[in-house]
Amino acid sequence: MLTIENLSNEIDGKAILKGLSLSINAGEVHAIMGPNGAGKSTLAYTLGGRPGYAVTGGGATFLGKDLFEMEPHERAAAGLFLGFQYPVEIPGVSNLQFLRESLNSQRRARGEKELNGGEFIKLAKEKAALLGLDMEMLKRPVNVGFSGGEKKRAEMVQMGILDPKLAILDETDSGLDIDALKTVGAGINAIMRRPDKAVLLITHYQRLLDYVKPDFVHVLAGGRIVKSGGPELALELEREGYAEVMA
Amino acid sequence: MTTVALPTRRQEEWRYSDLEAVASLWPLPAPVRIDVAAGESAHHHLLQDAGEGVAVVHDYAIAIADGGRCDFHVLNIGGRFGRVTLNVTLGKGAHFELNGAIIGGGKQTLEIVTAVTHAQPDGTSGQTIRSVLGQHATGSYLGSINVARGAQRTDAFQSVKAMLLDRTATANAKPELEIYADDVKCAHGATVGELDKQALFYMASRGMDPATAKTLLLKAFVAGVFDDMADEAVKETLEAAAIAKLEALV
Ligand SMILES: Nc1ncnc2c1ncn2[C@@H]1O[C@H](COP(=O)(O)OP(=O)(O)O)[C@@H](O)[C@H]1O
Ligand SMILES: [Mg+2]
């Protein structure tokens, strides 16, 4: 589904990713862990196409297409979803407007029929219920005045509605209490645990991985994947710390 | 009609105007008079959507008697030159409320020029202007507030925000205060900004194409201008005209 080969990038002329390779197949859940400042968010943003995140070497293919040849909105229409570590607030634009325009933009790009108001509301209600988010929240402006946990739930509602092929979730577990973590974990499983989909979880902690069980765990440090393993690697990291495991 | 000399750039209220276009309209006819009787309230609006290349000036002289209220909504989007002026005088305890939007592209020069005189005590006025300017357009708001001697407890505000879509567009905002009373509240704020890049990337990451994303942000930016309109049908007409203009701009 996603193949990243020897990827390097720069932000403001500063090299962050330094030859990162990673391959994700349909049906798999991968977790990337790593110390603060390792480049985890940079990887997510670079794959999403955030302006200012210049690719300086290597490449990535997503579902057979050159990822970096596509504009950010085209990547989304092709099935990529980016869960933000810090979801953006958009005053004056309601979640429902935001999501309906997003979904219909994607559908237009794929040559599918747009959803009308009724069809869209039905879908939004279903996904909000799945994530335990009050429909009233979706009438409010995007992320404005939402608590940290509400923002993360709202992002998962977005994911449910947009129904991507690959979700890259950057610290979706931060800001969640234990109950919310359970709900969000179950939501991710319900939406993404399918043979034709894949997930890349970026996290600091083992705790999300108790709910969304990874098939592979990678350690990102200094802009590269320095170690890969199975789910036991996450437990080892939790127990012994990055320094010990990477030594 | 007496001949009045053509305005020049040295005159504050003409400083950013398209004087060539003004000359083609000179001399201007007398302003439209609006008189609001004591204790009455009135709603007025103007949709300035003149055709391409047209030059047009709309002048209003508004007098609001004691305890009266006038709500004015303006959407200034048409023509090569579109100027709207409001000369307002408030009686005791009167209220004037202006909500205006300027949306321009190409080489349009669009302006809203107000002179609000608080002639008596306890008058209040509010002016909210939102401008969206692209390409080589110039959008200006010039608003002078004059508080007469003895017009105590006057409360006036001006809120002016402009959004530039291109570096080649120009926004001017000039609030001017002349205050001869001592117990007065006058607040004004003016900002010029660009579309929020973070928001645009967030929208793109959800699949929204750039034109849709920009239009949605711009709609949110100007939406408040028409929120409190009394007549639903007029409100819808102005909103639809604003959206069509925004869509043509992005
Ligand atoms: N906008 C930016 N400009 C310059 N440097 C940045 C920017 N964003 C991140 N960095 C730097 O890139 C490195 C990786 O950051 P990040 O990807 O956020 O790490 P992580 O998510 O693993 O904590 C850090 O050294 C950080 O300071
Ligand atoms: Mg991070």
Pick B207's closest partner by Cβ from A73, A87, A142: A73
A129 CA: distance to closest CA in chain B (Å): 20
Verify whether ligand 1 is closer than 6 Å to residue A34 (CB atom): yes
Those of residues 146-205 in A touching chain B at CB distance below 8 A are: 158, 162
Angle, CA of A238, A243 and A246, to the nearest 5°: 90
Residue B99 C-alpha, separation from nearest chain A C-alpha, in angstroms: 17
Nearest chain B Cα distance for residue A227, angstroms:
29
Average pLDDT value for residue range B34-51? 98
Task: Please indicate if any CB of chain B lies within 8 Å of the CB of A90.
Answer: yes
Q: Say if the Cβ atoms of A90 and B217 lie within 8 Å.
A: yes
Interface probe, candidates B198, B206, B208, B215, chain A, greatest A C-beta count within 10 A: B206
Instruction: Give the SS3 label for residue B62.
Output: strand
Query: Taking Cα atoms as reference points, which of A164, A156, A49, A155 lies closest to residue A110?
Result: A164
Name the residue at shortest CA distance from atom 2 of ligand 1: A11
Does the C-beta of A223 come closer than 6 Å to ligand 1? no
Contact A88 B223 (CB under 8 A): no
Question: Which tokens in the block code for residue B110?
Answer: 């669009």
Q: pLDDT grade, residue B4 (50/70/90)?
A: confident
Residue B1: predicted pLDDT: 44
Query: Among A187, A138, A158, A128, which Cα is nearest to B202's?
Result: A158
- The Cα diameter of chain B in Å comes to 62
Cα–Cα distances in Å, from B93 out to A84, A112, B187? 51, 59, 18
Measured CA to CA, the distance from residue A185 to residue A63 in angstroms comes to: 25
Q: For residue A218, what pLDDT is reported?
A: 97
Number of domains in chain A: 1
SS3 B95: strand
A100 ligand 1 Cβ < 6 A: no
By the CB < 8 Å criterion, does B10 face chain A?
A: no
User: Distance between CA B227 and CA B99 in Å, rounded?
Assistant: 9
At residue B96's C-alpha, the angle toward residues A92 and B120, to 5°, is: 145
Q: Which ligand is nearest to the CA of A16?
A: 1
Question: Do the domain assignments include residue B4?
Answer: no
Instruction: Give the tens place of pLDDT for each residue, B163-174.
Output: 999 999 999 999
Contact A91 B203 (CB under 8 A): no
Q: Do B205 and A72 touch (CB under 8 A)?
A: yes
Q: Which residue of A has its CA nearest to B208?
A: A102
List the beta bridge partners of residue B32. B60
Spatial separation of the C-alpha atoms in residues A159 and A184, rounded to whole Å? 11
Span from the CA of A133 to the centroid of ligand 2 (angstroms): 25
Q: Is A202 in the pocket of ligand 1 (CB under 6 A)?
A: no
The Å distance, Cα A26 to ligand 2 centre, comes to 25
pTM: 0.91
Q: In this structure, are residues A175 and A154 in contact, taking their beta carbons and an 8 Å threshold?
A: no
Residues in chain A predicted with pLDDT less than 50, given as ranges, are: none
Interface of B with A in 20-49 (CB under 8 A): none
The secondary structure of chain B in percent helix, strand, coil, rounded to multiples of 5, reads 20, 45, 35
Mapped onto helix, strand or coil, the DSSP state of residue B229 is coil
Domain that holds residue B75: 12-194
Backbone angles phi, psi at A242, to 5 degrees: -65, -45
- DSSP label at residue B154: E
CA distances from A113 to A97, A116, A117, A155 (A): 18, 9, 13, 24
Q: Specify the amino acid at residue A229.
A: G
What is the ipTM, given to two decimal places?
0.96
Q: What is the pLDDT of residues B74-117, one digit of tens each?
A: 999 999 999 999 999 999 999 999 999 999 999 999 999 999 99
- DSSP-assigned beta bridge partners for residue B178: B146
Q: What's the rounded Cα separation, in Å, for the pair A126 and A149?
A: 20
Residues of A in contact with B211 (CB under 8 A): none
Cβ separation B204–A88 shorter than 8 A = no
Residue with tokens 């300086």: A56
pLDDT at B3: 60
Q: Which residue of B has its CA nearest to A110?
A: B207
Given phi > 0 = left and psi -120 to 50 = alpha, else beta, which region is B150?
left
Which domain range does residue A65 map to? 2-246
- Does residue B179 belong to any structural domain of this protein? yes
Question: CATH number for the domain including A45?
Answer: 3.40.50.300
Number of domains into which chain B is organized = 1
- Chain B contact for A87, CB < 8 A? yes
- The residue among B202, B216, B246 with the most chain A CBs within 10 A of its CB, best to mutate, is B202
Is the Cβ–Cβ distance between B39 and B93 less than 8 Å?
no
pLDDT of amino acid A240: 87
Are A77 and B199 within 8 A, CB to CB? Answer: no
Ligand nearest to the CA of A46: 1
Q: Which atom of ligand 1 is nearest to the CA of A35?
A: 22
Q: Is residue B203 part of a domain?
A: no
Q: Which of A80-84, B80-84, B136-140, B228-232 has the lowest mean pLDDT?
A: B228-232
Secondary structure E strands in chain A: 2-11, 14-24, 29-33, 53-62, 65-66, 80-83, 90-94, 141-142, 166-170, 198-202, 216-221, 224-229
| Interface touch A109/B207, C-beta < 8 Å | yes
